[in-house]
Chain A
Amino acid sequence: MPEVLVVDDSKVMRDMVVACLRPYPGLGFTHASSGLEAIERLSLNPYDLLVLDLNMPDIGGIEVVEFVRGQDRLRQLPIIIVTTRGDEASRARALSAGADRFMTKPFTPDAILSEAKRLLEEKRA
């Protein structure tokens, strides 16, 4: 069963992301409320998709992306950034650090679901 790690310091936002992705059949979900917690979970368990906020306590999403891409084991992990920071500089930084998709809040449930679907299916292929 594909497992998604949803990282955001807002619980309501994590719940929203999970609700948006739930129509994808057979997905499992793990929550993390900070970048550090996300890195810890990533080092201990395998995941198939990372949905990540940028602005969080401890360390931000960009640092998490950089950490992930610095690990051989995690180099192929698909990453979707979901952020309130819609500026071009943030988008460029996230993508150059190694994120696969960059979505600005508010996003629609359909939009994030189809991005997740595409990434999971690319990974499977």
Chain B
Amino acid sequence: MTASVDLADFLPAYLAEVEELLDSAHRHLLAVEASARRGAAHPKSVRELFRALHTIKGLSAMVDVEPIVSIAHWMETSLRQADQAGGRLPESSVEPLLEGLRAVEQRIRQLAAGKPAAPVPAGLAERLESLEPAGATQGSAAAAPRLLDEEKALASRLGPAEREQLSLGATGGKRAVRLDFIPGADRAARGLTINSVREQVAALGDLVKVIPVAGPTPGGGSLTFALLLLTDATDTVLLDAAGGEPASVVSLSRPAPPAAPASAPSTEGSAEPLEEEPEEARRAGGTLRVEVSRLDEALERLAALVVNRSRLQRAVADLTAAGAPTRELRAILQENGRQLRDMRAAVLRLRMVRVGDMLERLPLLVRGLRRSTGKAVRLELDVGDTELDKAVADRLLPALVHLVRNAVDHALESPEERRAADKAPEGRVRLACHARASGWVDLTVEDDGRGVDAAAVARRAGVAQVPSTGDALLELLCRPGFSTREEVTSTSGRGMGMDIVRRIVVDQLGGELHLDTRPGAGSTFLLRVPLTITLLDAIVFECAGLRYAVAVGSVEELFEVEPGRVVRPAGSQGVALVERRGAAVPLLPLARLLGRAADDGAPPRGLLVRQRGELVAFGVDRLLGQQEIVLRPLEDPLVRVPGVAGATDLGDGRPTLVLDLAALGAARRSGAGGREERAS
């Protein structure tokens, strides 16, 4: 019996886990830095950072990536010193530690690309080794509180930092309580475990420590978890979080509760600080990491099913038309359709990533910008639990990074300018996000900087008329030639590379981009993007003898075009108008936009679409129905055309173009050069 396992097989899983650990390490290092700037300690983040590096080191050793083992080892050593100094890290230590994280990250990328990891960067070990811990926490030993005297058995199992935390928390106005959770087989079967309780309780306050206590319990068990926390929550809420009785709550600042059972083992003075400190619930708990390629594979299989179902549907329709008895077959088909929709929802859910996770590196970006620009900036993220399809998130991130970078680089004034303008010296950039109904997500990137100077932008763009609305201003900012000139952006406030942002949001994702800006007060960009771009419900129609599809969500209304209600007013340069919702809406014959007909006669059907806030109708020949499609993006830049979101197979094997009508109309309306401009 010999082991035949090759640990190198774990490389893909290793890479995924290390990436996650690096994200956590970055987050905690930034938190430590923020505390260091205020002269405060951040023991919890120092410990988390240490743990991330420690795990990276162990895993890297297992898969034999020596350079990462070495880097992690040096970082771990300097963090151990910081931990022993009560979680204090001098600001000067942050840069070498970030350098260490970057070095690990670089080597992870090399491994992911199939290359060997480069050796440890020259001098890094020395820079990490020479880091000095900051001064030790003042008076932590003296702060051992009277608070816990009565709970001696438990108090002996707390480290000095935990005692201090409980004591300071209690004097800071919060209640220090002990919440007892008693696990049991029946509770575990209901999903009520120490992991779930811990997670719930951590959301109700600061969980300082969880101590297992052995001994008979009210429910007949032999184990109690004592959760020590600082909280404002009521006893009822706390009990609820622990699954109700036999859970109990005792206030630690009240007179003595009964002592803990004597059988509780004592660890007094034995455990090292890094092993006995409390932790936040790890987000990865109860979740499974899956490689993206496997999710893509599941989507591919689903796509094949969706296409096949369309074929089946067509075959059954043909049979029915030929007079065959298809009643049962149709019932099965209906059930099959429902199952496929459920399956689709399940696969899409698997592909969802939290927006908060996607944005994990933004604080790091802002930190770098703060240093390079010398501006004081506060980044606020308010993204809740909103989720997006991985494919959307991957495309969207560069646009958001671009907007945040622009905000700091160009929109925010220097501290001196802000003071002169009667503003707080620290600028603010806020990124918020919330899901809307019907499969769309709104994101806003807002700053309190100088705002966009519309007159300066118009001047630079060579436009006589100063734009009067945010969106008109955005049109100018998004001109490709315009935005590449640095000197323009310094006067405009927010111009740099906006064409890239619009290309991602509007052309690639089929979303919307809006701007609201007030001179001197700041700007807000609104990005509206679909939750997913891979599987969608589409309207299929015919135009000039060919079939096309558009996303249902992008069409506001389908209508019959009555030729008598179409007008061509003088001065409209031949553009026909049709009355919809009490307004005259341009009616664009789609066949002509697609270059497939020169005829200007009014087509019989119209699709009403909102294009940058304005309604536009597209005339088509025939509506063929609605069906679920799998969108295949046209990746080749030679065939990528504005207004074409991708292609799909409707089940007969013939490729069908999926149109983005809003982008198509905008590209064509921007003039003869429009297409080239937008496609560049």
Contacts and interface: CB of A to CB of B under 8 A. Distances in A.
Interface of A: 9-13, 15-16, 19-20, 22-25, 33-34, 36-37, 39-40, 43-44, 54-63, 66-67, 69-71, 83-84, 93, 97, 105-110, 112-113, 117
A9 B55 CA distance: 8
A108 B63 CA distance: 10
A46 to B, nearest CB: 12
Given A43-B222, A43-B223, 18 more contacts: A15-B13, A16-B5, A23-B5, A34-B195, A34-B282, A36-B194, A36-B198, A39-B194, A39-B212, A43-B183, A55-B51, A55-B55, A58-B198, A59-B211, A60-B274, A67-B212, A67-B214, A70-B265
B530 interface: no
A54 B10 CA distance: 21
Interface in B268-302: 270-272, 274-276, 278-279, 282, 284-285, 288-289
Contacts of A34: 195, 282, 285
A55 B274 contact: yes
A19 B4 CA distance: 9
Interface of B: 1-5, 7, 9-10, 13-14, 17, 51, 54-55, 57-59, 61-62, 64, 183-185, 188, 193-195, 198, 210-212, 214, 221-223, 225, 263-265, 267, 270-272, 274-276, 278-279, 282, 284-285, 288-289
Nearest to B195: A37
A106 B62 contact: yes
A117 B195 CA distance: 31
A84 B61 contact: yes
A44 B185 contact: yes
Nearest to B12: A12
A10 B212 CA distance: 22
Contact of A16 (B7, B263, B276): B7
A24 B64 CA distance: 24
5 contacts: A15-B13, A23-B2, A55-B275, A57-B51, A113-B1
B13 A36 contact: no
A63 B267 contact: yes
Contacts of B193: 37, 40
B221 A11 contact: no
A1 to B, nearest CB: 16
Given A44-B188, A57-B51, A59-B212, A16 B271 contact: no
Contacts of B272: 60
Given A10-B55, A34-B195, A110-B2, A58 B210 contact: yes
A63 B3 contact: no
Contacts of B195: 33-34, 36-37
B104 to A, nearest CB: 15
B62 A70 contact: no
Contacts of B214: 67, 70-71
Contacts of B212: 36, 39, 59, 63, 67
Given A43-B183, A58-B278, A60-B271, A105 B58 contact: yes
Nearest to B17: A12
A52 to B, nearest CB: 12
A94 to B, nearest CB: 11
B675 to A, nearest CB: 49
Nearest to A35: B212
Contacts of B185: 44
A106 B265 contact: no
Contacts of A43: 183, 221-223
Most buried by B among A20, A33, A39, A84: A84
A5 to B, nearest CB: 14
A113 B57 CA distance: 22
B270 A62 contact: yes
A36 B57 CA distance: 23
Nearest to A85: B54
A58 B210 CA distance: 7
B59 A13 contact: yes
Given A54-B275, A110-B2, A40 B223 contact: yes
B263 A70 contact: yes
Contacts of B13: 11-12, 15
B17 A11 contact: yes
B3 A59 contact: no
A61 B58 CA distance: 15
B271 A63 contact: yes
A66 B3 contact: no
B62 A67 contact: no
Contacts of B274: 55, 60
Contacts of B1: 23-25, 113, 117
A69 B210 CA distance: 19
Contacts of A55: 51, 54-55, 274-275
Contacts of B59: 10, 12-13
Nearest to A62: B271
A36 B209 CA distance: 11
B275 A22 contact: no
A121 to B, nearest CB: 11
The 6 residue pairs across chains A and B that have the minimum distance between CB atoms: A60-B275, A109-B3, A84-B58, A57-B279, A43-B223, A70-B265
Contacts of A93: 270
Contacts of A20: 3, 5
Nearest to A97: B270
A15 B17 CA distance: 12
Contacts of B58: 10, 13, 83-84, 105
Nearest to A71: B214
A109 B194 contact: no
B54 A63 contact: no
A33 B285 contact: yes
A113 B278 contact: no
Nearest to B57: A84
B492 to A, nearest CB: 48
B271 A58 contact: no
A15 B14 CA distance: 11
Nearest to A86: B61
B65 to A, nearest CB: 10
Contacts of B54: 55, 84
A97 B272 CA distance: 14
Contacts of A25: 1
Contacts of B211: 59
Most buried by A among B4, B61, B184, B265: B265
Given A12-B14, A62-B270, A23 B3 contact: yes
Contacts of A16: 5, 7, 10, 62
Contacts of A69: 265
B62 A105 contact: yes
Contacts of A15: 10, 13
A110 B2 CA distance: 6
Nearest to A105: B58
A107 B2 CA distance: 14
B356 to A, nearest CB: 20
